[in-house]
Amino acid sequence: MESLSNRKKVLEQAPMNFWERIYLPAIFKGMAITFMHMFKKKETIFYPEVEREFSENWRGMHSLKRDENGRERCTACGLCALSCPAEAITMISAERKKGEEDLYREEKYAAVYEINMLRCIFCGLCEEACPKEAIYLDGPIVPADYLRKDFIYGKDKLVEAPLN
């Protein structure tokens, strides 16, 4: 059939000559190439000792942010949990009591806030969904662990350290 796009190229393959057919020169050429690689610079980064620099839009472990007065920004609206495609986020909200104004910025806060790091796909949708700028994926690589239950990160691991 005629080519419609006129971009079709007829590949011309000359029959292999004697040296090409016994393959040995090609094998030696390949072996010379691999041998030269022994003396090339190694690309390995020795991970725990040396860390590669993260790019600006790197998404790592989540952190729950505090505002300029050191109060937790999260108001437990649940938008992050709703937006999460992996259903990794769960939370239980609570009402702020009198005297707790220096702990929580909004009148409602997350008493329990858990992210299952085994489910999380680090897509960053929670970060985009958050109306209070409370959650960011600006942490390091989530470390390995032995038990599944240790991958459910609570507020103790997620909330930023207090200001002072």
- Contacts (CB under 8 A) with other proteins, residues 5-24: none
Binding status of residue 52 toward other proteins by CB under 8 A = no
Binding status of residue 55 toward other proteins by CB under 8 A = no
β-pairing verdict for 63-64 and 108-116: unpaired
Taking the least distance from each CB to other proteins, the nearer of 30 and 154 is 30
**Shortest separation between residue 158's beta carbon and other proteins, angstroms:** 32
Taking Cα atoms as reference points, which of 67, 57, 99, 70 lies closest to residue 164? 70
- Binding map of other proteins across residues 24-43, x = CB under 8 A, - = no contact: ---x--xx-xxx-xx-xxxx
**Shortest separation between residue 20's beta carbon and other proteins, angstroms:** 15
* Burial profile 19-40: b = 16 or more Cβ within 10 angstroms, e = fewer: eeeeeeeeeeeeeeeeeeeeee
Q: Which two tokens stand for residue 36?
A: 């030269």
Q: How far apart are CA 137 and CA 54, in angstroms?
A: 12
**Shortest separation between residue 42's beta carbon and other proteins, angstroms:** 5
The residues that touch other proteins, with contacts defined as CB under 8 A, are 27, 30-31, 33-35, 37-38, 40-44
